[in-house]
Amino acid sequence: MSQNLSGKIAMVTGASRGLGAAIAKRLAADGAAVAFTYGASPDRAREVVRAIETAGGKALAIQADAAKEDSTRAAVKQTIEAFGGLDILVNSAGVLTVAPIEKFPFDAFERMVAVNIKRMFVATQEAVRHMRDGGRIINIGSCNSSRVPFQGGTVYALTKAAVVGFTRALARDLGPRGITVNNVQPGPTDTDMNPAQGPAAPSTLQHVALGRFAQPLEIANFVAFLAGPEASFITGASLLVDGGYAA
């Protein structure tokens, strides 16, 4: 890895497993000190910390309820207290429920809005109060913000479309400080939430031009690029990393 994030401090939400864990490890491999939040997987969180530290990096796992405002704000502050600042925020935490709109449970709707939208807002608001000029905010959205070729994805698409608008507007607000804001929109990625060998995989793959699921590291590599100095003139963008899902 290039170590082009040496001296930088990153926070990744929802990173005890899957895509978030891959992002945390990739940023650490590039030299950043990385704090990350997790919900109910302490063993997995410890595994991520162990992997980063074994490779010579710095990591901190912070338990935080993704749906609670105070918990999210406290995680940002704990990151700053532990490492002395904040340069990069990756809003990776997300949940998915698929169901027909007429049968969609309201508690599932509230949970998706709380995690996919509210937590992103709260973490970002708290982070920018402390983030150094020239920082990076990277939101993890979805290719389903604009294309949903399956039934039952209405609420998920709603929450991920909100990420697109939030990213654009926030880039305007933070541009004078040199802070870039971008939205990475993964396609089908092999994680616990959407396994490549899961029951929905065959119907999903027919929409992917490359004919396969992404590996989490492939998405994490792009996040690391946006976090680095070579992406300094990219902001307000929603960028597909979807294997041609939306082509």
The strand pair at 180-186 and 59-63 is best described as: unpaired
Q: Which two tokens stand for residue 196?
A: 């490549």
Q: Is 51 helix (H, G, I), strand (E, B) or coil?
A: helix
DSSP 145: G
Provide the angle, in degrees to the nearest 10, between the axes of the packed helices 119-128 and 154-174.
10
- Whether the CB-CB separation of 188 and 243 falls below 8 Å is answered with yes
Helix H or strand E segment including 30: none
DSSP 191: B
From 129, 146, 149, select the one nearest 137 (Cα to Cα): 129
Helix then strand then coil, in percent of the chain rounded to 5, is: 45, 15, 40
Q: Is 181 helix (H, G, I), strand (E, B) or coil?
A: strand
Catalytic residues: 156
From 6, 15, 27, 8, select the one nearest 91 (Cα to Cα): 15
Q: Which two tokens stand for residue 172?
A: 């305007």
Maximum C-alpha span of the chain: 51
